[in-house]
Amino acid sequence: MTVCQILGLVRALANKDQKGNAITPTQYNLALNYANLALTNSEFSKWDPSLPLPEILRTFRVVIANGTITAGVYTVPSDFREFTSNQMSVTVDSILTVLDRVDDGKAKRLITYPGRNLRERPICVLGDGVINVFPTDASGINFEYLKTPATPVYDYYIDQYRNEVCLAVGAAHFLDPNEYGSAGQLPGNTVNSLTVELEWDDIYHIKVIMNILAQFGVNLRESDVVQFAELQQNKQQ
């Protein structure tokens, strides 16, 4: 479901409409963000790295292939959360070589240890937003990680009848007379959607919906919510 559809469902189940005693977009975005974080923390903490990646987390698996290392430093993607395995590699002297991840103390010992040939057995240390690689002329780092799910956002504009109109991801809308953007943009301007959809697979959206409803004091059985959602989708179709 889209964040717009989820809002419609939550409002309907909470017995609130778009006017008067409504769940406001601001309230919804806060609840949506909290529900997304709750699901993230719950599901990521359940995973045992010694076991295969569960289906619910596979959406967030990212493969870095031949990542650019500059003077021994690789900048970690901003959405990095944790490694999916210890398997890492780099290219040294044109040879693809296994890369050992060690802590800072062990790295300092190995760098000066005469029995360790770093060109044959390179090492790396995870720093603050970077991976430091030794030898520093290694290139093309390869590894897998889990990314942090994006923060979902619901964006909209107000039409001439004072109705909220959802803005899909990437959409743009020219504001006609008596229309206003979600951030107060005035008529005669184009608003570009700030909407960000949930990255969880659709089958897990019910967990987000249940959390949002609970935040607004609506406690229902999951089966009832699923049934209502299917009914609403059938009506729209």
Tens-digit pLDDT string for the chain (237 aa)? 999 999 999 998 887 444 445 799 999 999 999 999 999 999 999 999 888 999 999 999 999 999 999 999 999 999 999 999 889 999 999 999 999 999 999 999 999 888 889 999 999 999 999 999 999 999 999 999 999 999 999 999 999 999 999 999 999 999 999 999 999 999 999 999 999 999 999 999 999 999 999 999 888 887 778 787 777 666 665
Please tell me whether the overall predicted TM-score, pTM, comes out greater than 0.75 for this model. yes
Question: Do 169 and 231 have their domain in common?
Answer: yes
* Domain-ending residue, one of 115, 147, 179: 147
Final residue in a domain of this structure, among 147, 176, 194: 147
Which tokens go with 216?
């607004």
Do 155 and 204 fall within a single domain?
yes
Clarify whether residues 89 and 10 are in a common domain: no
| Contacts of range 222-230, beta carbons closer than 8 Å, 24 or more positions apart | 225/9, 225/13, 228/9, 228/12, 228/13, 229/1, 229/9
- H or E segment and range at residue 141: strand 139-147
Residues 35 and 97 in one domain: no
Do 126 and 77 lie in one domain? The reply is: yes
Assess whether 60 and 102 both reside in one domain: yes
Residue-number span of the structural domain to which 212 is assigned:
3-46+150-236
Number of folded domains that form the chain: 2
- Indicate the residue among 129, 147, 165 that finishes a domain: 147
